[in-house]
A and B are shown apart, each in its own frame.
Chain A
Amino acid sequence: MRTPYGHEVYAMAAEYPSPHALYEAAKMVRDAGFKRWDVHSPFPIHGMDDAMGLGKSWLSAVVLIGGILGISTAMFIEFGSSWGLYPLIVHGKPYDWKVVPAFFPIMFELTVLFSAFAAFFAVLIMNGLPRPHHPIFNWDRFARASNDGFFLVIEARDPRFTEVEARELLERSGGQHITIVHED
């Protein structure tokens, strides 16, 4: 979709005066059946996931895998070297199941370490970050999204998107400064 001046259209966007207004608008856009849309705010808004019809984040599953990988790595390194490669007799203690608790602290530490890395990289990858540029930055008002602005953006890629319907919906939900955002 293009504007009369030949710009590729990215989305129709609007600004809202408060988190509450944005929250109510999000529910209207969700109920209108749009799929490719998003809201932007300087802080996470409580209840917005439901208002947008999004479920619980599945990032926790990635972190669980990270944790399992961490404890396995620790067991592999510890048991592999202490039991197999280089058995070291300390305090005259044997190598059997009774000494396993002495290996727990490092298992715990590596579980936490790998889980934390999983959480950190998962949040970046699942959000498609780092992404230096994004069409929404073409809108000059959008700089306030990290300050005190509350925005709702309906992408042109959405199958239900028509300029008239999107504009009408944003107007009806109380949006201000409604505008078309260019792709480039």
Chain B
Amino acid sequence: MDDAPTAPDVIRGEASASVGRPLARVPLVLNRRNFSWITERISGVVEDRAPRWWWVCFTITAVVAMIGLFCIGYQISTGVGVWGNNIPNGWAWDITNFVFWIGIGHAGTLISAILYLLRQKWRTSINRSAEAMTLFAVMCAAIFPGIHVGRVWMAWYLAPIPNNYGIWQNFRSPLMWDVFAVSTYFTVSVLFWYTGLIPDLATLRDRATTKIKKFLFGVFAVGWRGSNRNWRHYEMAYLLLAGLSTPLVLSVHSVVSFDFASSILPTWHTTIFPPYFVAGAIFGGFAMVLTLLIPARSIFKLHDIITLQHIDKMAKIILLTGSFVTYAYSMEFFVAWYSGNAYERFAFWNRVLGPYWWYWWTGMLFCNVLSPQLFWSRWCRRNILVVYFVCMCVNAGMWFERFIIIVGGLHRDFLPSSWGLFVPTWVDIWTFVGTLGIFTSLFLLFIRFLPMIAMSEVKIVLPGADAHDPTPMGHHPVQAGGAPRT
């Protein structure tokens, strides 16, 4: 505790026994919080009465969600013609929204699976809510191709079910791969998320005050009792689910990009698409994670668990993946020039100077390429307002990027007589806005009913969780740099 050796001994580098001791890392949970504080603070979000702001937010988002659901119903009952899609723009906002939402989901899986395999312990503070975000984003994504097929009641044709027409699917089609990729992604994400939730549901069950709560949490906690004989299998299952989700998440957006890359349209027909799409997905997804977590962190006073260090690290990932995306954008232009293909060259001139020029200049160039460059500065990465500004830019920029890829590739095709611009109808606009409402409504419900931070996982990163250290909570009294912990 306070009489433990302090860091200056180490920093001075004296030839003493303390020299061999490594410098303490900056703690992941600040203010020496203990296990029960973690339980109280995170369970408290679920157990306390819903604050007024929650009702205000939920009312607004639920109304928007209802408008979205109405538009979906109107589209299904009337037909795809209520959208502005028309030749040459057979795909427009619908597929833009699909790619936008499915991309957002990728950050959650990256945090929960890839960072787990890479032993990034800071992920524990953000993985639960990021995974929930993944599920809600994939739900929103699935709406668009689902209703774009036109006759939704025939959607079962997508599944390989024996039928009396004797018709089977074309399994060599990227659209068919997409059906399998997205549905597998959603199912595996649900399983992974629920597996992670079980110990925390047991916590809520043990704290429940009413019979109904005790019953419901009891059912979903499946009788979990924290037994080490159970943890042994549980940890193996968690590791394997992480190992399975890692190639899965990389495959999903690759398959989405195949929808485009396997066609013959200029700007679509490129081999760079799979890594370009995956990087863009993680880029946009991290922006959305921060968009949701920065307000949640302030409202629920979670500053000790989601620290500036976490925000800093996420900002670095945005910078990294933003650089991948910038590289891909540049390489597309280079290849258009270097290939010598007249159609490809025209398409890229058209992207910069054509009718959708401002989408490119603001969406791709300003929002996606330039705004994340602020994150080279540590001050910017740790300034909440700057981080929020960049995340909002990236959220918008990634939507524009998908629109530029899709409609930008379609609106001026090989035959100038068929050129035409895309004009969204009110149904296009309100279906998209409606999915924003559905997404935020689901997220608000999630933070009210389920622990938004993985309690059992955050407890592992506390110093007191180390079974090999006989002085629980007592070590590492200083942080890197020698300043006393605050």
Task: Spell out A's residues near B (CB within 8 Å).
Answer: 17-20, 22-23, 26, 38-49, 51-52, 54, 56-57, 59-60, 63, 77-78, 81-82, 85-86, 88, 90, 93, 99, 102-103, 105-106, 108-110, 112-113, 115-117, 119-120, 122-124, 126-127, 129-134, 136-137, 142-148
Given A20-B472, A103-B171, A109 and B251 contact (CB-CB distance below 8 Å): yes
8 additional contacts (CB under 8 A) given A57-B233, A60-B236, A134-B223: A17-B472, A20-B472, A44-B228, A47-B467, A103-B171, A127-B234, A129-B223, A131-B222
Tell me which of B172, B206, B218, B227 contacts A82 (CB under 8 A): B172
Q: How far is the CA of A112 from the CA of B248 in the complex (A)?
A: 7
B157 → chain A, closest Cβ, in Å? 13
A182 → chain B, closest Cβ, in Å? 16
Tell me which of B236, B241, B245, B456 contacts A43 (CB under 8 A): B456
Question: Quick check: B467 and A46 within 8 Å, CB to CB?
Answer: yes
Nearest residue (CB) in B for A85 is B168
Question: Quick check: B468 and A23 within 8 Å, CB to CB?
Answer: yes
Question: Quick check: A40 and B457 within 8 Å, CB to CB?
Answer: no
Nearest residue (CB) in B for A153 is B227
6 of the cross-chain contacts (CB-CB < 8 Å) are A46-B465, A77-B160, A88-B168, A112-B244, A116-B187, A136-B225
* SS class, residues of chain B in contact with chain A: helix
Q: How far is the CA of A45 from the CA of B226 in the complex (A)?
A: 10
A22 → chain B, closest Cβ, in Å? 7
Q: Is B356 an interface residue (CB 8 A)?
A: no
Interface size counted on chain B using CB atoms at 8 A: 70
Chain A residues with Cβ below 8 Å from B167 are: 86
Question: Quick check: A137 and B225 within 8 Å, CB to CB?
Answer: yes
Question: Quick check: B35 and A147 within 8 Å, CB to CB?
Answer: yes
Question: Quick check: A117 and B240 within 8 Å, CB to CB?
Answer: no
Q: Is B180 an interface residue (CB 8 A)?
A: yes
Q: How far is the CA of A56 from the CA of B236 in the complex (A)?
A: 9
Question: Quick check: A116 and B192 within 8 Å, CB to CB?
Answer: yes
Question: Quick check: B168 and A146 within 8 Å, CB to CB?
Answer: no
Indicate the member of B223, B224, B226 with the most A CB atoms within 10 Å: B226
Chain B residues with Cβ below 8 Å from A85 are: 166, 168
Q: How far is the CA of A144 from the CA of B114 in the complex (A)?
A: 32
A45 → chain B, closest Cβ, in Å? 5
